[in-house]
Chain A
Amino acid sequence: MTSNSFKKILVPVDGSVYSEKALKRASEIVQVFDSKVFLIYVVEKSIPVNLLDRKEYLEILRKFGTKTLEKASIMLSKKGISSKLLLKEGNIFNEIEKVVKKEQCDLVIVGNKGLGSVSRLLLGSVSNKISQSSSCSVLIVK
C-alpha cells in the first residue's frame, strides 16, 4: 500500500481554535513521518454579500487569510517544520479538493469544527464534506 507513508499533508486553516488543534496534531505527525506540509486558506467567495461591500469584504478576508497563514507557518517553523502557504479564492471545499488532486496529498487534517455556526454540535460543514467525498485519507482532530 503506497498511501501508508504520508509524504504530503494538507492542513486547511481558518483561524479558529479547532484548526489550531489540527495544526498541532499535524506537526506531531510531520515530525514522525518527515512529510511536506501545505497550509491552505480559502477566501470564501460563494457567500452572498451585498454587492457594494463585496470588494471591501473580500479584501478584509484576504488580509485575515494571509495573517492566519503566517501565524500558522510561524507556529510550525518554531518546531522546525517548513511549510508551503497557499491562499485560494472560491468555494472552500472545491479549492481544497483541487489542491489535494494537484499536489497528490496523502492526508488532510482538519479540526472537527470551524468558524461556522456554534449551534452545530457535532461536525462542521466543511469537515463533514471533506470527510465524505475527499479522495484521500482524512484525519479529523477532535
Chain B
Amino acid sequence: MAIKTKKILVPLDGSKNSLRGLDMAIHLARQSQGTIIALAVKTVPGIYAIHPLGFLDFNSMKEVKKLLADAKLRAAKKGIMLTGKAIAGDPGYDIARFANNAKNKIDLVVVGARGRGSAKEIFLGSVSNYVLHKSKKPVMVVK
C-alpha cells in the first residue's frame, strides 16, 4: 500500500468532534492496513503534580476507560486494531509529547477541530491548536 501511515494517533475526549476524528482515522487505517492508538487524557490540574495524593483518585479514570472501550468497539466493527491508552495530565502537552516520542512511532495524528472546550470557539480548539503547533508528526484536522 502506498500510504505509509501505519500508526495513527487519535486523542479522544468524548466529544462529538473527537469521534469524528476517530471515524476518519478508522477510514484511513482501513486503506493502509494500519493500527490506531487512541489516547484519552484525564485532565489533572497542575497543582496535583506537586501534591502526592492527587493521583490517588482513580475513580475518575473510569470515565476515560469507558471512552476507550467504546472506541475499541467502534474500530473493531470495522476490523481495525485499536490500542487504548489512558494517561493523566495536561491534554495538549501530553498528546504532543506522546506523538513526538520516537518509541511510539506515530505516523499521523488525527484530531477533531474542537473538543470539549467552550462552544463559543468557532474555529480551532485550544488543544487541537497546541498539538498542531507542537507535534513533529503530520497532523490532520477533521472538521
Contact = CB atoms under 8 A, between A and B. Distances in A.
B142 interface: yes
A93 B31 CA distance: 31
B136 interface: yes
B134 to A, nearest CB: 7
Contact of A31 (B2, B27, B137, B140): B2
B140 A29 contact: no
B69 to A, nearest CB: 22
Contacts of B140: 137-140
B138 to A, nearest CB: 5
Contacts of B129: 132
Q: How large is the interface on B (under 10, 10 to 19, 20 to 34, 35 or more residues)?
A: 20 to 34
A142 interface: yes
Max count, chain B CB within 10 A of own CB: residue among A5, A136, A138: A138
A123 interface: yes
Given A28-B2, A32-B1, A122-B134, A140 B139 contact: yes
A141 B24 contact: no
B143 A32 contact: no
Contacts of B94: none
A29 B27 CA distance: 12
Contacts of B119: none
10 contacts: A28-B4, A31-B3, A33-B31, A131-B124, A133-B123, A134-B143, A137-B141, A138-B141, A139-B140, A140-B139
Interface of B: 1-4, 20, 23-24, 27, 31-32, 123-124, 129, 132-143
